[in-house]
Chains A and B, each alone.
Chain A
Amino acid sequence: MQFNSIDFAIFFPIVLIVYFVIPKKLRAVFLLAASYYFYMSWNAKYALLIAFSTIATYLSALMFRRFEKHKKLILAACIIVNLAILFLFKYADFAIDTLNLILSHFGTVRIGARLGFLLPVGISFYTFQALGYIIDVYRGDVEAERNIIKYALFVSFFPQLVAGPIERSRNLLGQIRNIEKICVWNAKAVTSGAILMVYGLFMKMVIADRASILADKVFNNYRIYGSVELILALIVFGIQIYCDFSSYSMIAIGAARIMGFKLMENFNAPYFATSIKDYWSRWHISLSSWFKDYLYFPLGGSRKGKSRTMVNVMIIFLVSGLWHGANLTYILWGAIHGAFRVVEDLTLPLRQKAALRLHVRTDTFSHRLWQSIFAFLVVTFSWIFFRSATITDAFIYLGRIISRPDPWVLFNDGLYTLGLKRPEMNILIVSVVILFLVDLIREKKKMTIDKFLMEQNLWFEWLVIIGLILMILTFGKYGPAFDAKQFIYFQF
């Protein structure tokens, strides 16, 4: 059941109405049932996996107190079990393929055939959420939850279950523990949540799904296109994945807010970032901070010298790449970000010195613009590896950008043959302008769209919301002529 489906349009209001009217004591159990129903709409069998992960982490946390001396062992076992499931379903085939490839070079026999498991939706998200909890309990940052219903709801809370934000136990579990005290009919929260959901749907249905038509067409046929089309597809893919992923988070945050929950922010105008470091403080914040809290710091963070810090940074980015998918392309994508991040740190004194010598004014708009453009170019460049099916494809794609210049397509109608005809392209351009303005407000006023609109005069607030609704209903990609697209991050 996707957020942009008719099923969800029926499911969510029903859940909301029931949640609003049932006795407070039943809220947790009802939301748990709704969450499992939501998850099982993809594949009922895989609910067993989430249930297993829930029970394993729930029991492990309770065992910490009883078996104080073996805490570390219990933690290790719990992490291994959870990661083993993740490995089995997500990485086993990749590992088998890679080993078979290596063995084939030595003429040895294959280690076996692929397992061919279907990737359970959102497995990386809920596994990381559960692992975060067990580590928090181990560290003593949160109390072990005794109520299995509430804990299970924390792991499976439907708005953010399949694509984040990856919540922390301190935040979401804390709220679920006090679910009876949540004020469920808060007009401001309902309005704010509804605005976020509408804007999220706009990003997904009007922008991301429209952009995907062009990006898919070019990436799937990249050997027949020249530089301009390939660069355009790259930029459009960058817009697509941002809108796709960010929209899911926005709808999740909005849906939760309507029900009285506050989820963490996951995106903060990432394309306004002025460096790769800045970018990762704005993009998929819940994952970056998860890696920081549960991997980077345990590795020593920046406390063990410069070179160790650089190694730690590279480890984080390589693991982050692997988290996104079982493919070398994702690992290379992570490596590119890691490398730029390291180079950024290493060259900082040099760049500062150069700026001083060359009298470059670093407090100007032009300097920040240059920094943003550079960061955007690096991120966009890295998308080649993220989006391509194989490393070879990525390098050929890159090679064609350099070797097949075709600027003339900018002056004929060549760009309108990439799956989006002129009216569709115009809609995309106008929508991206809206996206830019909303992110600009976020950047300059430090306000999300809901807060910004709720501060305005009523006519403006209504005009924007109704305008967005009309854009979704009219220009949104849905209906029988449209092959409903999953949110890209479901696969991670």
Chain B
Amino acid sequence: MKKSAIRITAFLLVLVLVLTAWNGIFKFKYGDGIYSVKKFYEQKDNSVDVLFVGSSHAFEDFNTGTLWDEYGMAGFVLGASIQPTWNSYYYLKEALKTQTPRLIVLEGYSVALDYEYSDDQRIIKNNFGLKLSADKIESLRTSAPLERFKEFFLEYIQYHTRYRELERGDFEPDQGDPLYADWKGFGCSISTESLESIDAAAITDTRPLFEKSEEYYRRIIELAQSRDIPILIVMSPFAGITVEEQMAFNRAGEIASEYGAAFINCNNLVSDIGLDYTTDMADIGHLNFRGTPKFSRYIGAYITEHYDIPDRRGDERYSSWERDAEYIRQKIYDQELTEITDLAAYADKLRNPFYTLFISFDGEYGDVNVPDLRYVLDRIGIPSDIDGGVLCLQAGELSWKNASKNDEYYLTAGSHDFRLRSSSNSDNGAISCTITADTFTRKAVTNGINILVYDSRTDKIVDMAGLDADNGYMLTRGEE
């Protein structure tokens, strides 16, 4: 009997261990909801000074890198996609179990939502990251109709079919992405959409908020005040704002003033912030890598002026914020590189300590020592005695070049595998050069110089550019 009991217990233990590991692989890892909560749990207790809560308007717009670089602000954005106020409330409640921030910033876009329940995907993104607790159960009951509670409470049934879509990231810590190593919840969109907006400041009317949205909006303010933590309500600026939304924001402002809570509707302050919707938006709702630094500088200045937020720069305990900011800086740098069209500027930008360049000389490209081109090649770091073959530069220094016509070089960096190869045709002696990245051969021009740029900080292949000999060594992008 005793032996059997031990055997069954041991089996159950092994089963639980296997299922836990299995669950880790299969569970959702959405960056726009679940993963930010996971990373939040990893923060040291009482280390977050400014806690930002809200929907994508929060995690796409509050740039934790800028806030750190400019003000030394230890901020964390705990948000999720189209997060309704009730989920912001439960996120905040959960956050205050381990953190006592000096300021809570609520991005209040969701006060304008007029529905009882979100779609399934949003219910998942706004709940699945939370640890099991009475609050989580309450959050689920608030988020989903009662008859569907089981579906969302037993999370695994929602994601067991992910076997069809598993990726490398599902098997690696932090999804194998350096973004998540020290992530503070900021999304950083790099796309650009040129947009125009209505004059939101001109709309001063109000409209009633949807009952449930208002109830939890009030509860968020009350929760912060019950903990004696100041709360600042911010409406992030976005080009797609509608009259209805602006009226809801105006009403939200009135409610905030009922509680004596600070309220800023940045849609009324677009020019003060310095935003240009033709260049600074990623889409109609969110700022991009050009817009978020401007907005975050503005908000950061407001916060430091009105609240007692310490500058943590130089404090070893906050090194993860420095690394997060470094990542964001580098991500923006990468994006800027891909947008450059001027060859000399491009060459200058390539001199980055995190860059590895894989270069191949292809086709009948002619003389590379013409002065203008030579200048560019010098800037990149290509020695003047090299005028053909394949080579690799790391942080601006030559790390490898082919020693003979038939030579190859392999480099494994981060999650990528690279190969440079030169080979000569036995019939006519012509040399063929190839750059291969992750099993794909990459080439931007067939006649000229190909450059593949890899960033070791972001672990991304940033750019595939070519200097097209047939077009005066014009900078060319795309794949041949």
A473 within 8 A of B: yes
Residues of B within 8 A of A6 (CB): 150, 154, 157
Contact: B160 with A474, CB < 8 Å? Answer: yes
| A491 to B22 CA separation, bound complex (whole angstroms) | 36
Report the separation of the CA atoms of residues A418 and B8 in the bound assembly, to the nearest whole angstrom: 42
Q: Is the CB of B15 within 8 A of A478?
A: no
- Which chain A residue lies CB-closest to B15? A466
Chain A residues with Cβ under 8 A from B15's Cβ? 466, 469
- Per the bound structure, the CA–CA distance linking A478 and B158 in Å amounts to 9
Q: Is the CB of A479 within 8 A of B150?
A: no
- B4 neighbours in A (Cβ, 8 Å): 187-188
Chain A 450-492 interface mask (CB, 8 Å, partner B; 1/0): 0000000010001001100110011110111100000000000
Chain B residues in 8 Å Cβ range of A289:
none
Report yes or no: A475 in contact with B163, Cβ–Cβ below 8 A: yes
- Which of chain A's residues have a CB closer than 8 A to the CB of B158? 479-480
Q: Are B154 and A187 in contact (CB under 8 A)?
A: no
Partner pick for B160 among A187, A191, A466, A473, CB 8 A cutoff: A473
Closest to A190 in B: B8
Bound complex: CA A458 to CA B4 (Å):
12
Q: Is B156 interfacial (CB-CB < 8 Å)?
A: yes
B201: chain A residues at CB < 8 Å are none
A473 touches B11 (CB 8 A): no
Q: Cβ of B1 < 8 Å from any Cβ of A?
A: yes
Q: Quick one: given A6-B154, A187-B4, A473-B160, are A480 and B120 in contact (CB under 8 Å)?
A: yes
Among candidates B11, B22, B157, residue contacting A480 with C-beta atoms closer than 8 Å: B157
CB distance from A394 to the nearest CB of B (A): 34
Q: Once bound together, how far apart are the Cα atoms of A481 and B159, in whole Å?
A: 10
Chain B, Cβ-Cβ closest to A478: B157
In contact, A423 and B164 (Cβ under 8 angstroms): yes
B413 contacts partner chain A, Cβ-Cβ < 8 Å? no
What is the bound-complex CA distance between A6 and B160, given in angstroms? Answer: 15
Chain B window 157-197, contacts with chain A (Cβ cutoff 8 Å), 1 for yes, 0 for no: 11011011000000000000000000000000000000000
Interface string of B8-29 (1 = CB under 8 A from A): 1001001100110010001000
Q: Chain A CB within 10 Å — which of B8, B18, B19, B161 has the most?
A: B161
Q: Are B156 and A473 in contact (CB under 8 A)?
A: yes
| Residues of chain B contacted by A481 (CB below 8 angstroms) | 161
Q: How far is the CA of A458 from the CA of B8 in the complex (A)?
A: 11
Q: Is B5 an interface residue (CB 8 A)?
A: yes
Question: Is B207 among interface residues, defined by CB-CB distance under 8 A?
Answer: no
A480 touches B5 (CB 8 A): no
Q: Is B7 interfacial (CB-CB < 8 Å)?
A: yes
Question: By the criterion CB–CB under 8 Å, are B8 and A191 in contact?
Answer: yes
Contact A470 B18 (CB under 8 A): yes
Give Cα distance in the complex from A445 to B1, angstroms.
Answer: 29
Q: In the complex, what distance in Å separates the CA atom of A191 from the CA atom of B3?
A: 13
**Alpha-carbon distance A480/B7, docked complex (angstroms):** 35
B164 proximity list for chain A (CB < 8 A): 423
11 new A-B contacts, CB < 8 A, other than A185-B1, A187-B5, A474-B26, are A187-B7, A462-B11, A466-B14, A470-B19, A470-B22, A474-B163, A475-B163, A479-B151, A480-B120, A480-B151, A480-B157
List, sorted by A's number, 14 A–B pairs whose CB atoms are closer than 8 Å. Answer: A187-B4, A423-B164, A466-B15, A473-B22, A474-B22, A474-B26, A474-B163, A478-B157, A478-B160, A479-B160, A479-B161, A480-B151, A480-B158, A481-B161
